[in-house]
Structure 1
Amino acid sequence: MRLSSPIYTLKREAKLLTRSTEIKLHQALDQIAKREGFQDWGHLASSYAKNTPSKAVLQQLDAGDMALIAARPGHGKTLLGLELVAMAEKSNRTGYFFTLSDTVLDIRNRLDKLGIDPDQFDQTVTIDTSDDICADHIISRIDNTAKPALILVDYLQLLDQKRSNPPLEVQIRKLKAFAVAQRASVILLSQIDRRFDLSVNGMPGMDDIRLPNNVDLSLFSKRCFLHDGKIQIEQTA
């Protein structure tokens, strides 16, 4: 059964409901779950855990893959990425999150939305919020003696923001070569151009990727687009 909104949005709605009606949180959660067609919140959460989009994406990520997760702001690309690296250990991988956008507090707030314990996340995923993040920096931080790496980078358009960093395509090719050589999976979050908001298309595509600087998008073997709670996964032929 498909939810009308992402689960974190439903949780936020439940919290707002407790403030406006003074009912307890568990009652608000159950009320929303019944509206969505479930017996209670536990039933909804169990169903979501079995069918979460992150599982579908993770199952399609192979060793050596370069993947792109793209969406307009507020449509869940960062949350999906965090879910993926949070699941890395269970799939016998080592999770890494490199972000040029979020602070540690931002990350903890996002994890809270997902119902993931931030302290538990810290124990299984390496988090890097350095301003020096680029392909060389990322590669230098990966422990090649450990399990295959699942690397999340936030985000594509910021990698060459520093003038001292190599051009974006040079960095993407270097990350691709590293992924293949080390049997790692690299996921880059990406912005969608704001022009998409004026489009009649229901889902963004490769033509909507915001690219201030040129990069060969065929280097990405998997692409995932999100919009209004829907997800579309593509792969190169």
Structure 2
Amino acid sequence: MSLTSPAAEQTIIGCCLQGQILADRVAGLLPEHFAVESHREAFSAILAAWHQGRPVDPVSLDDTLKGRSDSAGLAYWVECAEHGYSLAMLPAHVSTVRDKATRRALLAAADEIASLAHGNGDIREHVASAAAAVSKLVDGTVTRGPRLIGDVLRDYMPEMGARWEGRNDGLMTGFADLDAKLRGLRAGNLVLIAARPAMGKTALAMQIAANVSHGGVVVAFSQEMAETELADRLLASAGHVALDRIIGGGMTSDDHDRFAGAVGRVQGMRLYIDDQPAQRISDIRAKTQSVRRKHPIALVVVDYLQLMAGDGANRNAEIEQISRGLKALAKELGCPVIALSQLSRKCEERPNKRPMLSDLRDSGAIEQDADIVMMIYRDEVYNPDSPDKGTAEVLIRKNRQGQIGDVRLTWLGEYTSFADCSYQGSREESQPMRRRSRGFDEE
């Protein structure tokens, strides 16, 4: 079977040159679906003209493409127009061209997988790469080449309009002040939450995961805590029952009522937890792709980056490989990835112990790859009598698409969770206020 159909491509170009706007009839067809280079360039030029509201005929197309080495010439575009007489058959020709493109992509994936099978390196990485190649085909995608900025703007304008109307397509964390700064977590973003031990980075990350899981699927990889430990913390946070009472017993009748309500809410969360330790980026990629085949994924959480295994010559090289792999995973899945990171002890040697970007451990690649870097500081960890006891500072040290600055949250230690600062001083108020905080903690 031939993997190209130049005649079908020629007929499509010819139909588009009949002076009619046929965008709805060629919806989903992309320039890269064409096998013939001159057809690919012609279709790209036709789409660009349509996006500007201009019809295209053989003469205007030839003028647009004139001077390019792959231009077929005016006589050829006139010939195409003469072949584009059957608009009724256009959908069938579009289907043929897309089918041929998918078959070529399948063959390319097979060649890639064969090359992986014969190559050296970690077999798990090879299997994950093969799964990713096949996943693109399952999703009906074909590798995309460079795009004209005009095409990018055409697809991007609806999102910009939504911003102007006050709507935001970013993933909300559930914390009002934090969302106001970040404007949501964007698809493809690598979001780093870094802190020294016991500051609550697991609590914050998993609380965001719990909030998101009510509206979308979340996959959380916990390489330090067992899934049962995370469940304890989730129930404590969701029910506002002291964690030590859940673990050691002694709950009051009121605690039991809140605990029962928390169980019902937690069971309704679309939250997957994987507590296998020392995972590689290939393991995480394969597992998320497995979930993705069943459901779209809204968010991935990795706790924490330094506990992952790598294949580098030294630890800095391994961390660089891991951070870049997580960024690539975020783009591949089309969702944010939250990765937790430890900080070096340098911040504890300074009089002002609030962390800075230079305190990130092991590799500068973490700072470079992350789109957002948030650091948690609780003064009471170092100063038990601090006037800021019961609060936490989320220090937004890097934010590619928004503001940097500080956000203060309330820290509810007995429930291992955070809340907006409007909660401060209201810990014993009504149950609806309590429900504003859902989450986990570490250590």
Could you say which TM-score interval applies, normalised by the shorter chain? 0.5 to 0.7
Provide the rounded CA distance (Å) in 2 between the counterparts of 1:158 and 1:200: 29
Q: Which has the larger radius of gyration?
A: 2
| 2:390 matches 1:226 | no
Instruction: Point out 4+ residue stretches in structure 1 off by more than 4 angstroms.
Output: 49-59
Query: 2:305, 2:322 within 8 Å by CA — same for their partners in 1?
Result: no
Partner of 2:272: 126
Query: 1:111, 1:118 within 8 Å by CA — same for their partners in 2?
Result: no
Letter in 2 for 1:199: R
| 2:185 matches 1:61 | yes
Query: 1:97, 1:153 within 8 Å by CA — same for their partners in 2?
Result: yes
Partner of 1:73: 197
Number of equivalent positions:
187
Q: Could you say what secondary structure the match of 1:115 adopts?
A: helix
Partner of 2:55: none
Using structure 1 for the length normalisation, give the TM-score.
Answer: 0.67
Q: Pairwise CA RMSD of aligned residues?
A: 3.1
Identity of counterpart residues, as a percentage?
25
The one of 138, 144, 169 aligned to 2:320: 169
Partner of 1:209: 360
Partner of 2:338: 187
Letter in 2 for 1:108: A
Q: How does 1:1-237 map to 2 (within 5 A)?
A: 51=175, 59-90=183-214, 92-115=215-238, 117=262, 120-121=265-266, 123-131=269-277, 133-142=279-288, 143-145=291-293, 146-160=295-309, 167-211=318-362, 215-228=365-378, 229-233=392-396, 234-236=398-400
Question: Per-residue displacement from partner, 1:160-203 (whole Å, max 9, x unpaired)?
Answer: 2799x992222222221221122121111111112312212352
Query: 1:96, 1:125 within 8 Å by CA — same for their partners in 2?
Result: yes
Provide the rounded CA distance (Å) in 2 between the counterparts of 1:152 and 1:83: 11
Inter-CA distance 179–161: structure 2 relative to 1 (3 Å threshold): closer
Question: Which has the larger share of strand?
Answer: 1
Letter in 1 for 2:283: H
Provide the rounded CA distance (Å) in 1 between the counterparts of 2:182 and 2:282: 25
Using structure 2 for the length normalisation, give the TM-score.
Answer: 0.38
Provide the rounded CA distance (Å) in 2 between the counterparts of 1:175 and 1:134: 10
Partner of 1:25: none
Inter-CA distance 129–152: structure 2 relative to 1 (3 Å threshold): same
Provide the rounded CA distance (Å) in 2 between the counterparts of 1:178 and 1:192: 23
Question: Per-residue displacement from partner, 1:40-98 (whole Å, max 9, x unpaired)?
Answer: xxxxxxxxx975666558743100000100111111110001111111234x4321110
Query: 1:157, 1:191 within 8 Å by CA — same for their partners in 2?
Result: yes
Higher relative contact order (CA 8 A, sep 6+): 1
Query: 2:311, 2:318 within 8 Å by CA — same for their partners in 1?
Result: no
